[in-house]
Every structure is written in structure tokens, then in C-alpha cells.
Structure 1
Amino acid sequence: MLKTNAFDASTGDTLSAAKRDMIERRRRLLGPAYQLFYQDPLHLVRGEGVWVFDADGNRYLDVYNNVPSVGHCHPHVLEALTRQASELNTHTRYLHDNVLDFAEKLIGTMPEALSQVMFTCTGSEANDLALRIAEDYTGGTGVIVTDYSYHGMTKSIAALSASMGPYVKLDRDARAIPAPIHDPANPAAVGKRFAADVRAAVADMRRHGIRPAALLIDTFFTSDGGFFDPPGFLQEAVAAIREAGGLYIADEVQPGYGRSGEHMWGFERHALVPDLVTLGKPMGNGHPMAATVVKPHILERFGSESSYFNTFGGNTVSAAVGLAVLEVIEQENLLPSIQRAGKAIVEGISALVPRYPVLANVRGAGLYASVEIIDSKGKPDAAMALAIVNGLRDEGILIGAIGPHANILKIRPPLVFQATHSRMLVEGLEKALTKLMSHA
């Protein structure tokens, strides 16, 4: 896996002694697998709405974290959590209204055919469960993912997360295909090419005696770099996997919960009804919870023959939290403001392109935007992308970088982001670019 925006300890001599000691303590206690963001890592101590604060009292605009979906420490969510935690926290083998109320409200946001839900604690677990159900229903083992996909960290799902890199081997029966293309000049080509790649993967599976089970995709292709247009381009690819006997699993961990500003779910942008939908981190605004939503006929045999239980999935506190998050989205009418803020981001950064040629292919859907960073020859420029990310950090703005070449700016703020915050981002980006160009 490309370590996009990872702290490089070899250049940490300029940090304070206290911060160096803390980093060394992390290394000693947590081992080498953990990473830190930014060349000057942040020591965060508090969050509020779209802001986070470090140990020195500095404030940062959070334009990266989708986990606190309705904002850091939202009072309605905190009240629901503390109230239920003070009364009872137990699992789904006892009767309780919370899990039913939450399930009912969550399912109510989905197409009618998706009417049953199973709760987990992480998106990794949700995808793992969806894979088990899909394999049981289809009798297949072949899964199609994209070249730089990320779906989680369990053994089976890490093997379907191509972005993990060559050390983590892709599952033998899986096939990784190219992510969709960004082609506003020829939008009809986007869906046709992606569907052709799905059909080619199916054909290769069959040549090797592998029966297709599923097309597993993040409907915004967020880890691949963010690809959204034209709306509907996924329809032919989904038809192709279903014709082959497989299912369509929509990984909505990042596209879901209204992030597009147009719909509650990313798959709705393509006028599709998945066979299974997986949800994760944003469900709980930071509280660990996730889910798999499924069409009942697909779940029937698996549910009857293989009972499912998750000690913490769907517990009374998590259910109260999940319900509160949905209430915030509904009561604060977030989708229109998501659309306005996202439009301000894309239009604002697009206006900078003529002055800063390192910026290219500005694209987005609601509060998810991507900006490709290129060199003078039009090639991906990971070093410049990293410099911009760290330059924005110095301006008090937090974003990330993604993609197979680590050159795509990842803009994914909490859903309570407003157009005023979008303008702060654009102004900060302009300042960071100006400083970088002056030193070029």
C-alpha cells in the first residue's frame, strides 16, 4: 500500500522533544504497522463540529474525516449515547426497542427491496458478512473489485482490497479491474468500458473454473481516486455481473449517509438497487458500528442454516447512537447544505486551475471531491500532492491524498460542512499553492 501522507520518522528532527518522545512511545507500544499523518504529526485533544483542536490550542478545519459524519461531538448523538449507556448496554439476544427502532428507520431510507439488516461493529465485518452471504446464495467464490479498492481489514476482505499492495495477496478467485475513467468529453464511454472490464473478469474466472459470486464496489470509488460521472454509468456493469449469476454488493461506507447531497445512498446516483449494501463508520459518528442490508430472499438460506450473532453489533447503546445520527441528518435537513458546500468546493478549486497548472480534473459529488495533481508533463505528481497536503495542514486545514499514484487530493469533510467552510478550504489551498510555487 502506498503510504500516502504518512509521517517519515527519518525527517522528524525538527519536531519538539515532547512530540518526538510521544512518537517513539507509539512506536515502542503499538509496533510498526501503525501510521501517523503529516510531516508534523498532529496531537489532537478535542473536536467540535467541523473543527479539531490540538494540544497547543490550535484549531484545524477538518476536511478529511467522514467518520464523525454529523460533526465531531454532536450534542444530540452524545446525549443519546450517554442516556442509553446509563440505562442498559446489552446484545441482540434480548428484546429491546432500540435495535428495532433503528433498523426500521435505517431500512426506511433504502429501496423497498432492501428490507433486512444485520448489525456489525466495523465496515470490514459488514463486508465480510456480505461476502459470506453472497457466496452462500450464488455458490460462487469469484469476486470482482477495482485496482485500488479498499474494503476492510479482515483476512478475507483485505484479500479483496487491492490497495493493500503486493504484500497482501489478492484472493486467488478474485479479479481486480481498472477503476472507471474520468471522461467528461465522452461520458457514454465510462459505463461501457467499466462493463466491458467486468465481463472480461467474468470470462477469465470461467476459464479458470471459478463461479462468480459478486461485484464488490464502493459506489464513489473513493480509494481509487473518486469517480462519479455520468450518473447511471454503473448500470451496465451491474447487469453484467447479474447475467453471470453474481450479486452486486454496494460498499456505502464512504458514499452513503447523504454524502452526495442528492440522495441518501451513493448507489441511488446510478438508479440501482443493490443485492446487498454494506455500511460502516459514519453510522455512529465515531461510535464503532456497521451493518449489512440485504434483500430477504438472498438472506433466507444463510440466515436459516447459519445463525448469526455479534456481541456488540446492534447493542442497545449503538442502536441509540445510530438512530440519533439518522435523526440529525433528517432534522437538520443536511442534504441541501451538503450539495451547496460541495458545489462551492468544486467551483472554487476549478477557478484556481488556470493559475496553478498542478491542479487537474477537479470532480466531485456533494461533500466528496477529488483533485488530481500533475507535473509539467501532465503525469501524476505524488510529491507535489504530499506537499499540498502538508501545506494545507500548516494553514490549519486537514485533507488527505489517495489513488494508485498517491497524487489525488481527497476532500471528504463531515456532512455538517457549510459553504463558508468550503470557501475557507479554497482560500487555504490558494495560500498553500502560492507558497509552494514561490519556492519551486
Structure 2
Amino acid sequence: MMSSATAYMINGFDPARAGELTEAEQHLIARRQKVLGPSYKLFYQHPAHFVRGEGVWLYDPDGNAYLDVYNNVPSVGHSHPRVVEAVAKQAATLNTHTRYLHEGIVAYSTQLLATYPDELEHVMYTCTGSEAVDLALRIARFHTKGTGIIVSANAYHGLTSAVVEISPSMGPNVPLGRHVYAVPAPDQYRAKEGEDIGETFAADVDAAIKDMQRHGIRFAGMITDMILSTDGILTEPRGFFKKAVEVVRAAGGVFIADEVQPGFGRTGENMWGFQRHGIVPDMAVMGKPMGNGMPIAGVVMKPELVAEFGQKVRYFNTFGANTVCIAAAQAVLDVINDEGLLANSVTVGRYMHEGIERIAERHPRIGDVRSAGLFLGADFVKDPTTKEPDGEYALRVVNRLRDKRVLISASGRVGNVLKIRPPLPFKTSDADVFLNRLEETLDELG
């Protein structure tokens, strides 16, 4: 059972257990808490301490290597030399904002937009994914003159005051906005026999819109993470978003694809998560994976959404898309293309999926395995017949893997889904390390 200090952060360290740590660890945690305050949480029952990263590995002060199977922000790997070089070179040359002409932002934006459908012609930049979502909401509400927003039931979209109001996963102490409606996420694994989850999802969205209208709320749009990562990593069947998006547009709303986690080749065959579902969003938001952790994010949109907004609303972001961050983003895009990371995401993701399924044959506590490229979920259940989620067991797995120097975390409302999301250069040899230690862990836990 988690204490109140960690009640609304899956896989959070419980400060009440600090006495189980070494004296040096306790001292560092105490110093950290003194200067950062209580809001800054740590992962794992035994917090990890790192001093260096390289590729898919992180290293502690004693030089021990930990396999990173979780961090999507360093999308092309920790300390990728091409990103490091691009940042250092640009920082030594010029770092300034977008109100001066510069070739870098134009060249990068042209290449970035070429990865999107033709309908999405403009990009606006921010420093974080939270800011990008905030901007997308502003544009959607200005364009539609509405205020009502639909999200999935356990969504997380960011941390600004406007964006936490559309993030149900933040828990009951962070209430939803008065004009925000949460609908159940489509879960094929737990669907009724013969149920079309796309139809069900569309019906739930339609009901939410009608309820808004009944209460005098004008509908603005829907935003969803295109892999529903905090709802449990829900990937199948492809296309289940289509009918809900049709409902959104029929009601005069806009559809915003949150690509912070599934974007930039994470889901494998395509650059963007929405492409798996055969839809074109009105806007798409991106976050720090676009710069391998550098503070750059953005919103891509259809021109008609921003035409009036751009003329009538003064928007600026002083250091969004500064020249150093653009250089990092350009390097990331180049690495994804030059190193074949989309194809790698497909190949290694399939290898991991099949490996987890083999393990599940011996360990039925893994009720379902879901994936799209290098984004996988292993759904732990108390009983494969009832499919009742087992968050407590999943978190035991997470923490036992940490003890075996494999970094992972969990997803879902009760943390029952192992969240598997390694850097994109992950190899089958890295996957073997993870799969072997996962199987060892399940054998030990019984």
C-alpha cells in the first residue's frame, strides 16, 4: 500500500521507507527534499542514482550499468554523439529567439512538416509538451468559440494549470475543469464478446458532447494520446479512433492528437501514432523527444485553424525553438532517418512482443501483451478469466527489475500494465537482457 505521499504517482518512492536505504542515500534524499520541496517525487522503492548515460544504458556512481527500457525523452539514446555535437556547435555560435531570421528553423520545419499529411501545413513551437497542449487548447477554443473538451478516462497531457485540468490521471486532488469530460478508453482486452470498441468509443464521445450541450457548454474538441499510454497502452484494433473523430467533427469540434509519447517513430511503421489509425488530426502536439530531451516542443496544425488566431491573438514564446534547440531537433530527425530507427522500432518491437508472449505462456499473470513498435504493455491480472487488474503485482515486478538493473515503470489506472518504452536504438541483444531478467523476476515472484 502506498502512503499518501505517493498515492497518485505510480511507482513512486515512499519517503516513509527511507530508513531502508544506505546512509549516503538518505542524506542525499534529505538534502534534495530540503531544497526542492515535497512535490518532487522519486521512482522505485529503492531510488536510483545516475551520473552518466550512453545509448540505452545509465550508470550509477559505482559504474554499474542499468538497462533503460523506459525513457522515451532521450528518443535516439542517451548522449547521442550527433545530438551532443549539434548542441555544442550551435551553443558556441548563436543562441537566440525566433524574432530574428535564421535558416535553421525554416529548414527544420520544412523537413518536419514533410513527415506529416499534406493537410497539416504550419508548426508553432514551445519549450515543453505541456506548453504545446496549452497552445493547442487555446487555438481550438478560439477557432470553435467553444470551451468543452473531451479526454480519455486516465489521460495525462501535461502540467500547466490549463492542462492539468484535462489530465484525470493526476488524481482527485487535481480536479478536472468544469467543461472537461472524461470518457472510457477503448480496451479491446476487456471488451464484451463481439463488441466493436470503436463504435463504443464513438458512442461515449457522442454522449459526452450531448451532455455538454444539455448543460449549455459549447463543444471545442477532443484530445487523446494516440497510444493511450496512461490508460494502459491500448493499441488494437487499428482504426478504432476513426468513428470517434467523425463524431467530433460532426459536432463542430477539432481533434488534437497528442504525439508526445507515440510520435517520432515510436510506434514503428509510421512517424506518428495517428497514422496507425488512418486519420488526419486537426492538430498534433509534440514534446521533448523531438530534441532528445532539450526543451523543444510544438504544435502542427491545419492552416485554417490558426489563420484568425494568428491575426488577432498575440502569441509568442521567447525561447521556444531557439537556435540551439532547433539544432538538437534537426540532429534527432537526421538520426531517425539515417540510422533506420523506424524500421528498428518495428523489428525490435515485434521481437520483444513475441518474447513477452512466450513468457506469458508460463506466467498467466500476464493477461495480455499489447504493442506498437517500441511501445509495449504487459497487462498483469489477478485471474486470466476475470481479467481483474493487478497493480500491486505489476509494481512488485517493476521494483524487482530495478534491483536487477533494468529500468521500467507501469501504466493504467491502478498501475497494472508494465510500460515498456526504451530508446529507439534498442537492439535485440538489449531486448534479450530485458526478457531474461523479466522471466527471472516472474519465476522468483511466483
Q: For 1:232, which of 221, 239, 253 is the aligned residue?
A: 239
CA contact (8 A) 1:338 1:418 kept: no
CA contact (8 A) 2:188 2:237 kept: no
Larger mean Cα displacement after TM superposition, 354-363 or 234-243: 354-363
Please list, as runs of the form range in 1=range in 2, the aligned pairs for 1:21-420 lying within 5 A after superposition.
21-183=27-189, 189-376=196-383, 378-420=387-429
CA contact (8 A) 1:343 1:366 kept: yes
CA contact (8 A) 2:132 2:286 kept: yes
| CA-to-aligned-CA distance 1:220-273 (integer Å, 9 cap, x gap) | 000111111111111100000000000000000001001111100000001111
Structure 2 counterpart of 1:421, one-letter code: D
Alpha-carbon distance between aligned partners in 1 of 2:116 and 2:192, rounded to the nearest angstrom = 33
CA contact (8 A) 2:127 2:320 kept: yes
1:35 CA displacement: 0.7
Alpha-carbon distance between aligned partners in 2 of 1:273 and 1:378, rounded to the nearest angstrom = 33
1:151 to 1:187, Cα distance in 2 relative to 1, 3 A: farther
Alpha-carbon distance between aligned partners in 1 of 2:235 and 2:396, rounded to the nearest angstrom = 26
1:185 CA displacement: 8.8
1:188 to 1:107, Cα distance in 2 relative to 1, 3 A: farther
SS at 2:361's partner residue? coil
SS at 1:118's partner residue? strand
Alpha-carbon distance between aligned partners in 2 of 1:310 and 1:257, rounded to the nearest angstrom = 23
Query: Which residue in 1 is equivalent to 2:444?
Result: 435
User: Over the residues paired in the alignment, what is the CA RMSD in angstroms?
Assistant: 1.3
Normalised TM-score (structure 1): 0.97
| CA-to-aligned-CA distance 1:43-69 (integer Å, 9 cap, x gap) | 100000111101111101100000000
1:380 CA displacement: 1.7
Alpha-carbon distance between aligned partners in 1 of 2:148 and 2:348, rounded to the nearest angstrom = 40
Alpha-carbon distance between aligned partners in 1 of 2:172 and 2:392, rounded to the nearest angstrom = 22
Alpha-carbon distance between aligned partners in 2 of 1:291 and 1:250, rounded to the nearest angstrom = 12
SS at 1:354's partner residue? helix
CA contact (8 A) 2:155 2:230 kept: yes
Query: Which residue in 2 is equivalent to 1:7?
Result: 13
1:337 CA displacement: 1.1
SS at 2:410's partner residue? strand
* 1:18 aligns to 2:27 (yes or no): no
| CA-to-aligned-CA distance 1:382-422 (integer Å, 9 cap, x gap) | 22111100111111111001111111110011111112212
Alpha-carbon distance between aligned partners in 1 of 2:79 and 2:265, rounded to the nearest angstrom = 19
1:187 CA displacement: 7.7
CA contact (8 A) 1:126 1:290 kept: yes
Normalised TM-score (structure 2): 0.96
CA contact (8 A) 1:363 1:371 kept: yes
Larger mean Cα displacement after TM superposition, 152-161 or 374-383: 374-383
Larger mean Cα displacement after TM superposition, 377-386 or 85-94: 377-386
1:379 CA displacement: 2.1
CA contact (8 A) 1:145 1:176 kept: yes
Alpha-carbon distance between aligned partners in 2 of 1:14 and 1:168, rounded to the nearest angstrom = 31
Aligned residues: 437
CA contact (8 A) 2:267 2:373 kept: yes
Structure 1 counterpart of 2:349, one-letter code: G
Alpha-carbon distance between aligned partners in 1 of 2:192 and 2:81, rounded to the nearest angstrom = 45
Alpha-carbon distance between aligned partners in 1 of 2:100 and 2:185, rounded to the nearest angstrom = 44
CA contact (8 A) 1:344 1:423 kept: no
Structure 2 counterpart of 1:192, one-letter code: E
1:188 CA displacement: 6.3
1:354 CA displacement: 2.3
